[in-house]
């Protein structure tokens, strides 16, 4: 198998300059073909996701298919512009030169995609990398075999193996692939695995983009409509069974508003999924038994340590279904507050002052997202000025990650690099500077020997430059 990976890598390495120099029309032709296939195979994609972890049809359309179509639509409008050389001006010492920046594909790319949005998060970076003029080896998660089948089928119908090839398997496959000297690695997953990827990449000085996670906080200000906020948060937390990298990980709410907020949350959980959530067609299962057991243990440990289950907490092992769970009386020492939850469990923590809430947020590493519910511009600005995270959404949740032109990515331990829109195109591009000098306007005069006259002219130039500041 190792030879298989090396052979695919070598073949793509031989092809990478052809990929880099392919035209916008060639790239767009393949992207349009892929878009048509996605539309025609929509039901098959949804069926695969349902088999893998009971993903509802509407959620598949909204969170797996629509982002891909939106991205291709954007590329159809913008790709020729993004591929164009960017001219740069010539300051005094560079008069007589023409200067520009070429955006070129980085070359051979490895994309390691996760299981939680197994269609979108595999296909999105592959198409972005291809649009930027790269070759790709994709290694999807072994936890979503049915979705992998349709991903492989669609990619093979559009791209040659020199352009895109997929290898399935467990962590051993990723380990072998990471030994190869790729030009760029794009990884979506957990922070611990992200560290392994970065360490492996360092051996070949390979650039990396790491889309990770973290404990994304929700700050709820005083004097807002708690019922409206609860509705949005309950959707954002429990969509995809809570298995979303930017899902709200915990709530910070004023102590006098907590009880009202909890009641609104419970109301919307029932409205969304019914009284018998285990029978709901609109609720995701947990991806594996191991993940389900981990989440149940987090809840059990929190209760043993003094937390209250306001609703949920039931785990149906035969379906790998954990009901939407709200916890109160939670503290930082509990296991549920140590790492990203990545499941349908939501701790609710009350605060007495804004400063207390900000300190609570800053006790954790930078999250991938932060959510602020407030009508006060002062509060919004204070939260953004005094915290750090990948992105901020105000008075809603999750939606920013679906915006096709906003940059998406983390800060600190929640990730490196950005993608979506032009930011993704640049992340998969090498910005190559070019200077063309056809006219020599006297620069060669300053070659050695350095006479007193030359030194005097240089000093005059320095004084001229200094006066500009």
Could you tell me the pTM of the whole model? 0.94
**Per annotation, catalytic residue among 245, 258, 340, 422:** 245
Helix, strand, coil tally for the chain in percent (to 5):
50, 20, 30
**Per annotation, catalytic residue among 59, 163, 211, 310:** 211
Mean pLDDT, to the nearest integer, of 354-363?
Answer: 97
Please report the pLDDT score of residue 441 as a whole number. 73
CA torsion sign, 422 to 423 to 429 to 432?
positive
Residue showing tokens 């936890």 = 143
Mean pLDDT, to the nearest integer, of 26-33?
Answer: 98
Residue showing tokens 């190792």 = 2
Please report the pLDDT score of residue 355 as a whole number. 97
Residue showing tokens 């995809």 = 240
As given in the structure block, the two tokens for residue 364 are 């954790």
Residue showing tokens 């609570």 = 360
Please report the pLDDT score of residue 91 as a whole number. 81
**Given a cut of 80, is residue 465 above it in pLDDT?**
no
| Dist CA 97 CA 443 (whole Å) | 11
**Given a cut of 90, is residue 339 above it in pLDDT?**
yes
pLDDT, one tens digit per residue, over 68-104 is 999 999 999 999 999 999 999 988 778 888 999 999 9
Mean pLDDT, to the nearest integer, of 336-356?
Answer: 97
Distances (CA, A) of 435 to 44, 86, 438, 441: 51, 12, 10, 15
**Given a cut of 80, is residue 360 above it in pLDDT?**
yes
Q: Which helix (H) or strand (E) holds 209?
A: strand 207-211
The overall average pLDDT reported for the chain is 95
Please report the pLDDT score of residue 30 as a whole number. 98
Asked about 153 being catalytic, the answer comes back as: no
454: pLDDT confidence band, cut at 50, 70 and 90? Answer: confident
**Given a cut of 90, is residue 466 above it in pLDDT?**
no
The domains of the chain, with CATH numbers, are 2-212+418-430 (3.40.605.10), 217-409 (3.40.309.10)
**Given a cut of 90, is residue 446 above it in pLDDT?**
no
**Given a cut of 90, is residue 437 above it in pLDDT?**
no
Query: Do residues 446 and 462 touch, judged by C-beta distance below 8 A?
Result: no
3-state secondary structure of 262: helix
Between 454 and 355, the more confident residue is 355
Mean pLDDT, to the nearest integer, of 60-66?
Answer: 96
Please report the pLDDT score of residue 313 as a whole number. 96
| Dist CA 274 CA 5 (whole Å) | 48
Please report the pLDDT score of residue 468 as a whole number. 58
Query: Do residues 220 and 229 touch, judged by C-beta distance below 8 A?
Result: yes
* For the chain, percent of residues with pLDDT exceeding 90: 91
**Given a cut of 70, is residue 338 above it in pLDDT?**
yes
Please report the pLDDT score of residue 308 as a whole number. 97
9: pLDDT confidence band, cut at 50, 70 and 90? Answer: very high
Residues 6+ apart with CB under 8 A from 232: 395, 396, 397
Please report the pLDDT score of residue 439 as a whole number. 83
- Contacts by 440-448, CB closer than 8 A, 24 or more apart: 440/96, 441/95, 441/96, 443/93
Asked about 245 being catalytic, the answer comes back as: yes
Q: What is the DSSP letter of 399?
A: G
Please report the pLDDT score of residue 1 as a whole number. 53
Q: What is the DSSP string of 369-434?
A: EEEEE-S-HHHHHHHHHS--EEEEEESSSSGGGG-SSS-B--SGGGEE--BSHHHHHHHTEEEEEE
Please report the pLDDT score of residue 2 as a whole number. 65
Mean pLDDT, to the nearest integer, of 384-391?
Answer: 96
Mean pLDDT, to the nearest integer, of 297-305?
Answer: 97
> Over the Cα atoms of the chain, what is R_g?
26
Please report the pLDDT score of residue 458 as a whole number. 85
Please report the pLDDT score of residue 158 as a whole number. 98
**Given a cut of 60, is residue 109 above it in pLDDT?**
yes
As given in the structure block, the two tokens for residue 405 are 């032109």
């Amino acid at each position: 198998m190792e030879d298989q990976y090396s052979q695919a890598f070598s073949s793509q390495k031989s092809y990478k300059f052809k990929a880099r120099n392919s035209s916008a029309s060639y790239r767009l032709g393949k992207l349009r073909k892929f878009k048509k296939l996605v539309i025609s195979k929509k039901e098959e994609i949804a069926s695969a996701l349902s088999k893998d972890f009971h993903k509802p049809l509407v959620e598949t359309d909204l969170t797996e298919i629509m982002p891909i179509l939106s991205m291709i639509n954007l590329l159809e409008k913008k790709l020729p512009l993004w591929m164009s050389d960017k001219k740069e001006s010539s300051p005094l010492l560079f008069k007589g030169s023409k200067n520009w920046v070429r955006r070129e594909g980085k070359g051979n790319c490895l994309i390691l995609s996760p299981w939680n949005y197994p269609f979108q998060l595999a296909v999105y970076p592959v198409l972005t990398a291809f649009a930027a003029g790269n070759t790709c080896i994709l290694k999807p998660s072994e936890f979503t075999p049915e979705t992998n089948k349709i991903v492989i089928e669609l990619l093979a119908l559009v791209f040659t193996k020199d352009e895109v090839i997929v290898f399935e398997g467990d962590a051993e496959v990723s380990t072998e692939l990471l030994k190869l000297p790729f030009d760029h690695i794009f990884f979506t997953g957990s922070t611990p695995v992200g560290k392994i990827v970065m360490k492996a990449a360092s051996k070949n000085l390979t650039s990396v983009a790491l889309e990770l996670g973290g404990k994304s906080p929700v700050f709820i200000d005083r004097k807002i409509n708690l019922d409206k906020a609860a509705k949005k948060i309950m959707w954002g937390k429990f969509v995809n069974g809570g298995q979303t990298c930017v899902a709200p990980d915990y709530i910070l709410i004023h102590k006098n508003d907590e009880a009202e907020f909890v009641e609104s949350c419970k109301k919307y959980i029932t409205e969304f999924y019914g009284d018998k959530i285990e029978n709901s067609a609109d609720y995701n299962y947990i991806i594996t038994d191991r993940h389900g057991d981990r989440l149940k243990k987090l809840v059990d440990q929190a209760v043993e340590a003094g937390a209250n289950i306001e609703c949920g907490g039931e785990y149906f092992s035969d379906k790998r279904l954990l009901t939407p769970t709200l916890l109160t009386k939670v503290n930082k020492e509990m296991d549920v507050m140590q790492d990203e939850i990545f499941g349908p469990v939501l701790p609710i923590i009350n605060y007495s002052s804004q400063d207390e809430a900000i300190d609570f947020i800053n006790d954790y590493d930078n999250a991938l997202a932060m959510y602020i519910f407030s009508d006060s511009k002062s509060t919004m600005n204070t939260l953004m000025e005094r915290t750090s995270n990948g992105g901020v959404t105000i008075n809603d949740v999750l939606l920013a990650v679906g915006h096709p032109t906003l940059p998406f990515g983390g800060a600190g331990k929640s990730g490196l690099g950005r993608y979506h829109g032009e930011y993704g195109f640049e992340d998969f591009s090498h910005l190559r500077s070019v200077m063309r000098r056809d006219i020599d306007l006297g620069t060669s005069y300053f070659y050695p020997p350095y006479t007193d006259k030359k030194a005097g002219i240089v000093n005059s130039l320095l004084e001229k430059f200094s006066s500009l500041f």
